[in-house]
Structure 1
Amino acid sequence: MSDATSLAEDFVSGRSDPVQALEQALVHASLAPSVFICLTAERARREAEAAAARWRAGQPLSVFDGVPLAWKDLFDVAGSVTTAGAAYRRQAPVALLDAPVVGQLCRAGMVSVGKTNLSELAYSGLGLNPHFGTPHNPHGTDQPRIPGGSSSGAAVAVAAGIVPIAMGTDTAGSIRIPAAFNGLVGYRSSCRRYSRDGVFPLAHTLDSLGPLTRSVRDALAIDDVLNGRDQRQPRPARSLKGQRFQVEQSVLEDARVEQSVRDNLHRSIDQLTAAGALIDVRPSKTFQATLDLIQHQGWLGSFEAFALHQALLDSPDAEQLDPRVRRRLEAARTLPASQLLGLYDARRRLQQQLIEELDGAILITPTVAHVAPALAPLEADDQLFVSTNLATLRLTMPGSLLDMPGVTLPSGRDALGLPTGLLLSAPSGEDARVLRAALSVETVLVQ
């Protein structure tokens, strides 16, 4: 499947139209087990027909008018239940209103195909869900492999060619991880870049939103729409000549990073250097300090997730939770408040330290240290699930704690054809800069 920008170009030329694109998406969605929790076909057909009429009249609402997209089932979509991937929410009241970001993209003419599957309550980096099933990574040709989480269905919906764009959320890596495992572009925005109203929360200072796409230009276009900019022409990529990047050397040399991930990142760095980028390969004191903080002082999201869900955990509905998710939530019940306050203080210091250390450079790390693991062993072994989940989240958690906007890009594949990812990150609020850098990097890596 081509990206959303190419599909919109087909609408302009008459090679396709929004109704045809939607019907293809609905057929493909019906053949993809566990990817969607629900389809919103009636609404989508109304939206597609209206978009097709606008294109015939030469009056599209935006560059993406009529483009189909999917929503992680944390976003309120009027008329559907927001399940958050949890069995206890199956009978929750339907949303009366669209979440603001849903409304913004709807007003730009985009067509909402349905709500995608996820880790229950968005609380896992692996994407397994015992209630709604686990979507299989389409790159796992040797055996079923995990999609990554928590935006599991969103990633598979794009990777399998059902829709060109799916909106996800990211609290510790939940956009970047499944994007990397599925060979996609995934953009984690700074926490305050988009409205989070109408989006089921997990951790109030860590939750962020963003798209999973097939190209950086699509992510940029979504960002333009959500920020009230109407760019009718795709932005040209800037030359990499003179652009500064810092490669986190300690992570790259860590034995926990699989050889294929390391080799593909080295090759990418060589390509960027050949294109004129200024690459500084050295340890990042801030990144390493953040990894150490999380390892020894705990994960801030654990405190915030428990606080959010304590009433649920103390209710009979707790019995319906995935036991793995319930145990992880409960683990924070007895943690002292002093530990939480210490994490908040440390985060503020590290955020300032990061700005000074990078000094305008973009940080490069592997997105995940390994490719998508096999599904069956993780379903069967609780201890393996826990250790694999922590290993999968390890390299994206620092960016979340420091509120670093990040874009993961495909960096290559391993011997089995499983994708690896490269992550570009910048200090909080520097979303536009990291997106433009990603656009430049992408033009070099896809050649």
Structure 2
Amino acid sequence: MTQTHLGKSIAQLSVLIQSGSLDPVALVEESLDAIRTYKDQAIFTRLLEVRAKEEAAASSRRLRGGRSRGLLDGIPVAWKDLFAIAGLPTTAGSIVLADAEPAQDDADVVKALKAAGMVAVGRVNMSEFAFSGLGLNPHYGTPLNPLAFDVARIPGGSSSGSAVAVAAGLVPVSIGTDTGGSVRIPSAFNGLVGYKASRGRYSMAGVFPLATSLDSLGPLCRSVQDAIWVDAAMRGRFVPEAGRAEPTALSIVVPTNVVMDNAEDGVIAAFEATLGRLSAAGVKIRRAAFPAFDRLFQVMAENGPLATAEAFVLHHRRLAGPEAEAMDRRVVARTRLGEKITLIGYLETLKVREQLIKEVAATLGSNEFIAYPTVAHVAPALAPLEADDELFVKVNGRTLRNTLIGNFLDWCGVSLPCGTGDAGMPVGLLLSGPKDHDEQLLSSASAIENIAVVG
């Protein structure tokens, strides 16, 4: 996009498009040109130029004829390389799937956003097979965090290209997946809004899986309003159900265990300052321990993580054959750990999970949400992680810690930018709620967004 439109939200672009001030064809041309000429060519794995121009032209005709499909008509969108695009193989950030059978049809959610008038401009990079929270990819390159000015820093993963594409102003929104934090982590690292919907909120048809008991989807964008509009369209709704709550009607509980362990001083300062602003605005805040957090990490240590077990089942034949040599060695090593997870251990973890979900839900008041830092540190430097696999494993675990709690407990969640930490890098506040409380969550996130971001 030209400088005029770089970094604008969906809502800002929609006003221009719906008023006739901005033609969707011109907008998509600007987006494609910006992508082609951007200094970092590791963000997109595939441009959909022909499709994008056709969809933009169709949008332009509708708008000129007074037949707009709604507020998203003509808005560019990028798709993580896990979503089926008709006529293309779904490569999931891996070269071993480059020659896979092309998809016969778009994924259901791709169809849904096309039906809303959105313009698919391309596929974006990711951690291979979505199995890392850091965003490194040795095959297509690692998209660099565009907000880092001291050293090259990671984008966060696994939806790395999604976050960088939006943060760099190449598109206003990208759709990612989240199994342990893959929407919320890169959103936090890049100063964006990242919404992880409740598992099962959208159709998963045509989405390449990682761990089906944990997989969920959501947009990475510039505002909660944008997320609300995209959420509605992904479910085939023309009118969003989420509105904007009043801050004085919101209650937040801040955990006192696990989530702040070994947190950077800058992250703590930004988070606590945000809590102060929220309290001053009338948000009710209390602090409490969540024994379930300690228990879920204990059961994972004893039985192995659910994501690792399910990823191994998905990839075990690939790991036993020659394809393993062409995969990211770190993904191979992590996935192979699933071979040690027993069926008894897996089933026991599922049983404990069900118990903990009920236990935590029973401790929350009506319309009460959980808040803590999305990640306990800001985006770290890239070079040390590329050079040291042991450090990679350690940092990956620390990066995923806070967000995977929400996946294990089947929450929905929104990461909001809430200030800066070390090296001036963004810090995220994660607001979470029980499964299927998405409308209430989005309404509450909308209520506190400006309060969280200011300062």
TM-score clears 0.5:
yes
- 3-state SS, counterpart of residue 394 of structure 2: helix
Aligned length: 445
1:35-434, aligned counterparts within 5 Å? Answer: 35-231=43-239, 237-251=244-258, 253-254=260-261, 256-360=262-366, 361-434=368-441
> 1:79 & 1:417 partners in 2: Cα distance?
42
> 1:323 & 1:54 partners in 2: Cα distance?
48
> 1:296 & 1:6 partners in 2: Cα distance?
49
Contact 2:18-2:71 at 8 Å conserved across structures: no
> 1:93 & 1:147 partners in 2: Cα distance?
30
- 3-state SS, counterpart of residue 61 of structure 2: helix
Cα drift, residue 47 of structure 1:
0.3
Counterpart of 1:443 in structure 2 is 450
> 1:104 & 1:212 partners in 2: Cα distance?
17
Counterpart of 2:4 in structure 1 is none
Cα drift, residue 80 of structure 1:
2.0
Contact 1:252-1:262 at 8 Å conserved across structures: no
> 2:400 & 2:453 partners in 1: Cα distance?
26
> 1:329 & 1:116 partners in 2: Cα distance?
23
Amino acid at match of 1:75: F
Structure 2 alignment gaps of length 5 or more:
1-6
Amino acid at match of 2:63: W
Could you report, residue by residue, the CA deviation over 1:410-430 in whole angstroms, capped at 9, with x for unpaired residues? 011125220000001111121
Amino acid at match of 1:438: A
- 3-state SS, counterpart of residue 141 of structure 1: coil
> 2:336 & 2:111 partners in 1: Cα distance?
35
The range that moved more, 260-269 or 15-24, is 15-24
The range that moved more, 330-339 or 381-390, is 330-339
Could you report, residue by residue, the CA deviation over 1:219-241 in whole angstroms, capped at 9, with x for unpaired residues? 10011112232138x97522110
> 1:437 & 1:372 partners in 2: Cα distance?
26
> 1:133 & 1:418 partners in 2: Cα distance?
22
Cα drift, residue 248 of structure 1:
1.1
Amino acid at match of 2:334: R
Amino acid at match of 2:388: D
Cα drift, residue 53 of structure 1:
1.4
> 2:301 & 2:222 partners in 1: Cα distance?
33
RMSD of aligned Cα (Å): 1.4
